[in-house]
Amino acid sequence: MHNHSVRELALGQDTREPVYSIVFGTVIIFGLPLNAVSLWILLRHHSLKSPSVLFMIHLVISDLLLIISLPMRVYFYAMGNWPAGSMACIWVTMLFRNNIRSSSIFITFISVDRLLAVVYPLKSRLLRTPSKACRAATIVWLILLAVNVPESLDLYRLLKNYTAPACFEFHPVEVDEELHTSAVAYLQLVLLFVMLVVNIVSTALVSWTLHKHVNDAAARVNNKVNVMLIFAMNLTMFIVFFLPVSLVVFFNNLRPALNCLASVNCCLDPLLYYFSFDGFWKRKEDVDLSLARD
């Protein structure tokens, strides 16, 4: 089959390619400075002794890794061809997948950390330590790298079967389906559902605790609206950005649009940091100092 024919088969004459290029370009324009500034603020103005701040730093790093891979996607959808080889395609693809996976995990860690700080402030003090947060983040990255190895080898093998200089949506349909119905894709979907449930339960428990003032920590949190906005944003990330792109295993033809949607999450994460700094963590630090004095 000629390259042009294969491309038509894979893309289905998709006229939305320029839209994808515009969306990815917009994410770069807004996401890069927002996350760069967020990382600078986290490292310079906030204590690295807070587990949640450490998780936020890793979340920023995950977003920045995604953003630096997006120029290749912009070029691909704007020009209609892939300028680099198979290894570049594999790197860009893995960075995107790792962002979805790591972001969902770190956001869940942040939600659980807040849950422990508000609902179980005394019992969780030994659990919520910087060393354990660093250890958890390291384990997350190591697991992601371990998953990347077989995925990269599988993608490289499949790319060898396609002679055109292509990546992403230019794979033949039958190869594309084989790649995205792997056990890893189903496992990711299951884990996302589990983490979504964890975030929902955390939101409900924190909301109830703050409303009832069932402990001293809850009573001292003044800006409860900001606290609940953080949880609402976490749930939005899962429902709007993470879950749909993981359902691509069932709706493969929607993959380009869902990838675009998922990439927008890195532009909204800085809002999560802002509400955390302004309304919750300063107050939480005051609570921790008060408890320490007691």
User: Long-range contacts: 86-95, Cβ < 8 Å, 24+?
Assistant: 86/156, 86/159, 86/160, 87/156, 88/167, 89/155, 89/159, 89/167, 89/168, 90/152, 90/155, 90/156, 90/159, 92/167, 93/155, 93/167, 93/168, 94/148, 94/151, 94/152, 95/65, 95/66, 95/68, 95/69
Domain count across the chain: 1
Place of tokens 């680099």: 84
Residue 75 lies in a domain: yes
Residue 293 lies in a domain: no
Residue 196 lies in a domain: yes
Q: Which residue has the higher pLDDT, 2 or 27?
A: 27
Residue 269 lies in a domain: yes
Residue 175 lies in a domain: yes
pLDDT of residue 219: 53
Q: pLDDT, tens digit, for every residue of 10-30?
A: 443 443 478 889 999 999 999
Residue 294 lies in a domain: no
Distance CA 270, CA 60 (A): 8
Task: Specify the CATH number for the domain of residue 41.
Answer: 1.20.1070.10
Q: pLDDT, tens digit, for every residue of 197-256?
A: 999 999 999 888 887 765 555 556 656 777 888 898 899 999 999 998 888 767 777 888
Range of the domain at 157: 3-7+16-288
Cβ-contact 63, 125 below 8 angstroms: no
